[in-house]
Amino acid sequence: MIPRYQRQVMADLWSLENQYAAWLKVELAVAEAQAEMGLIPPETPAAVREKAVIDAARIAAIEENVHHDVIAFVTSIEEQVGPPARYFHYGLTSSDVLDTALALRLLQALDIILADLDQLLETLKTRALEFQNTLIIGRSHGIHAEPTTFGLKLALFYDEFRRHRVRLLAARRTMAVGQCSGPVGNFSAPGLSPEVETRALAKLGLIPAPVSSQILQRDRHGEYFSALALLASSLEKLAVEIRHLARTEVGEVEEPFGPGQKGSSAMPHKKNPIGAENISGLARVVRANAQAALENIPLWHERDISHSSVERIIAPDSTSLADYMLIRLNRLLAGLVVHPEQMRSNLALTGGLYNSQELLLKLCDQGLSRVEAYALVQKNALKARQDGLDFKTLILGDPQVAACLTPEEIEAIFRPDRFLASVADIFGRVFIKEN
């Protein structure tokens, strides 16, 4: 992951030094469980804790010769600890350490992401309540439909991101497992047993996979990265909505723009939605990485190594990008400049055409067939659009409509506040029944 899109907390989590620290944590948990059960000398764990230091440079030097990172790591520990280290990595295979340590770091990353998501949810709730009754034209196919409120737009995203929180927690439960079961998962080594595994993993806050081969099965990781991809897609969805509403022709919102910020190297007037565009681009990477995680599921027999190189890339990249996008979108949304006056102006663009459904239904109530009522309303709507006329004025002057509805009834149809009638009920559904 390039530093531009990675916060320091994620850089530290996925650093090589922290990788080795996670490996050592797993190795020590196993050694402690083995010592407790009398399978290795009781002084082994203490000796390792006292003398072992992560030396990434030394591990790299050893790996240059042995071409195996776990062997290089174990060798560096043995160099420091001496004779007691003969019971270090006792009975384990590399993947026992690698997969369990990866699970630990994936969980740590997800905890950061969940905290980010909680911040975004709180911001969405705050701004949704702020604009609960602020009317804005709703659009379907990009065309004016009927009014909604800007608060309802944000409430919809709040509800969507709340579902992502449930998915991420489910993925966390799926990923919160480890293994200490040996070369093909059958505890064949003298230092291993299901009880050793259970004890060791409990020290790490994990539970044993009910059955493993040489690895944890990659459907678990597939679920994890798919959950991140779903999250990224909704982050982009919100970003795209902001981008659309910020277009010059719409002008209903705009991204926060700092005093010294520049929008274009050539055009000084530009204030571009670069934050939202950035999120749209990065979401593509997270989705692509989910596909790579799914490709990792069908490995050969008890294990092959084809998944390893993929995960060294997608684990730091997807988690770092999810963290970065959540933080950036939260800041963007918290500082989003909203223009209710432009929303009102855009509502008026079509001279009330958005009331066509209500008019249609009222005419049906007065005895017209739906086909007749539709044709009558559409005739006036098309004329208003074609000739640039006010729709309500045309309706008030249409004798066919006048035969069915009084001027007062027509005026009531064109009252914009009728679109607010159920907003409070919807907000009650979304925000009162929390989690």
Residue of 264, 306, 345, 369 marked catalytic: 264
How far apart (Å, rounded) are the C-alpha atoms in residues 417 and 304?
A: 64
- 28 C-beta neighbours (distance < 10 Å), count: 20
Residue of 141, 265, 269, 301 marked catalytic: 141
Cα 257 → chain centroid? 25
The alpha carbon torsion through 90, 91, 94, 97 (nearest 10 deg) reads: -70
How far apart (Å, rounded) are the C-alpha atoms in residues 322 and 127?
A: 22
How far apart (Å, rounded) are the C-alpha atoms in residues 197 and 303?
A: 20
Q: Give whole-number Cα distances, 10 to 105, 115, 227, in Å.
A: 10, 13, 18
Q: Give whole-number Cα distances, 408 to 361, 375, 379, 395, in Å.
A: 16, 22, 22, 12
Q: Which residue blocks in 246-273 are alpha helix, DSSP H?
A: none
**264 an active-site residue?**
yes
**141 an active-site residue?**
yes
Q: What is the DSSP letter of 432?
A: I
The catalytic residues are 141, 264
